[in-house]
Structure 1
Amino acid sequence: MDQPADPRTTDLGFARVDIDRAHRTGDPEVVYGAGKTPDQVVAILRALHEKHPERAVLATRVAADALDVVARALPEATVDLVARAVTVGPLPETHGTVAVVAAGTSDAPVAAEAALTVRVHGSAVDLITDVGVAGLHRLLGVRERLDAADCLVVVAGMEGALPSVVGGLTGVPLVAVPTSVGYGASLGGVAALLAMLNSCAPGITVVNIDNGYGAGVHAARVARRSAR
């Protein structure tokens, strides 16, 4: 006997898109583009945009060839080449501010993913780049911007020390993102991850290696609530 269609999902054959997530959590489903074909990314984005035309929907980790396909298939889409991400639909009104703090230029893709995620999830972004611990004067020069934010996302590879330093300078809620940037002993970001998990600065939350998206969602939710 056929089961009745679930009104909370849209069945595309290869995927069951969760169209009820915005109602449950305040944020619509996001497309994780890695491992999906370009046509699959386009189909899911279309399905989500049809259900949420009033706000942007997001696809992350989209391969370079898929970005070209999506841009042609969805002319209204906005492509972020640095973040390797795509949005379709208008960005929402902002509530609160997240400062995304990147240690170095090599961390830019993860920082860009975090920044775009924050914006799609309804908070303003202050992007602060190239303030790693190798030049502490650069970080000290932006202390007022750190204190002005409602939440921080701190992105760093190599030895992953930046979140500890930032956590010692300000009491703003902080999400640390280890990146896979570094030489051999960095173990693809494991060294930075362990350093952040073992930080002596209290109050630091740590997400997985290169997970700018997860950090951005968390930070945007903190900032939105802080701004109420």
Structure 2
Amino acid sequence: MSNKDFIDIDIAKVDIQRSERNGYPEVIYGEGKTADQIIEISKVLLSKDKTVLATRVSEEKISEIYKAFPDAVYDKEARCMSLNKKDTKKPDSYIAIVTAGTSDIPVAKEAAFCADVFGNNVECIYDVGVAGIHRLFACLDTIRNAKVIIVIAGMEGALASVVCGLVDKPVIAVPTSVGYGTSLNGITALLSMLNSCASGLSVVNIDNGFGAAYNASMINHL
């Protein structure tokens, strides 16, 4: 890459042409970065009039970031921050985000925040897991009318297979680290989703609401 493709600020080589290659600007992963590092990377992206999206930003860090960017938009449940969000025309279609339990909502919030920044309409449906499957059936119309569906579940991760067997749309499964001992911090749900017999199911990493939103956004914009 030439220096026209990235800007080297010592702590990071900020990719300023990612949106031209991939459709979306570089996203800042906030976990493991200091508030000052997030601020410096954001300044570079803003200097090129890019939308800034940072994930896994703690409340402690955002309090420092607000000092540099008072207009930052932050969702503490999603742990996401955005700046300079573009008012792009959204597709008429929408992404449905479905959680098995209330404990999965933080991951759903991350997915919804990111999907919104990427220019999508989103419908969120919470707490419709297999322990009370009738709750899911009451929401099936909204789920089936989506262009793409994100299903978020911990424990044994069964909801993704169930939903995928009821719809004719692509389903993206997100295992979460929710559950008791042998859930193994999400590994049990991950393996269950990877071994699903339901066709049309793809799986992202544990707690990766961002990754699911990115994938769903690309599908929704096709």
Q: Same fold (TM over 0.5)?
A: yes
Aligned counterpart, 1:69: 64
In the alignment, structure 1 residue 217 sits paired with structure 2 residue 190: no
Contact 2:58 2:76 survives alignment (8 Å) = no
Deviation of the 1:64 alpha carbon: 2.4
CA deviations 1:98-152 (Å, max 9, x no partner) are 1111111111111111111111112111111111111111110111111111101
Contact 1:57 1:120 survives alignment (8 Å) = no
Q: Aligned to 1:87, which of 72, 82, 85?
A: 82
Tell me the percent identity: 48
Structure 2 segments unaligned to the other structure (5+ residues): none
CA deviations 1:207-226 (Å, max 9, x no partner) are 0101111110000000011x
Aligned counterpart, 2:100: 103
Aligned length: 220
The letter for the 2-side match of 1:17 is: V
Aligned counterpart, 1:152: 149
TM-score by length of 2: 0.95
Superposed, which structure 2 residues align to 1:3-22 within 5 Å? 6-22=3-19
C-alpha distance in 1, partners of 2:206/2:77?
17
CA deviations 1:50-88 (Å, max 9, x no partner) are 2135xx320001122112111222111101111101000
Q: Aligned to 1:39, which of 8, 30, 36?
A: 36
Contact 2:99 2:108 survives alignment (8 Å) = yes
In the alignment, structure 1 residue 196 sits paired with structure 2 residue 193: yes
Tell me, what secondary structure is at the counterpart of 2:165? helix
Structure 1 segments unaligned to the other structure (5+ residues): none
Contact 2:77 2:106 survives alignment (8 Å) = yes
In the alignment, structure 1 residue 50 sits paired with structure 2 residue 51: no
Deviation of the 1:93 alpha carbon: 2.7
Tell me, what secondary structure is at the counterpart of 1:127? strand
TM-score by length of 1: 0.93
Tell me, what secondary structure is at the counterpart of 2:26? coil
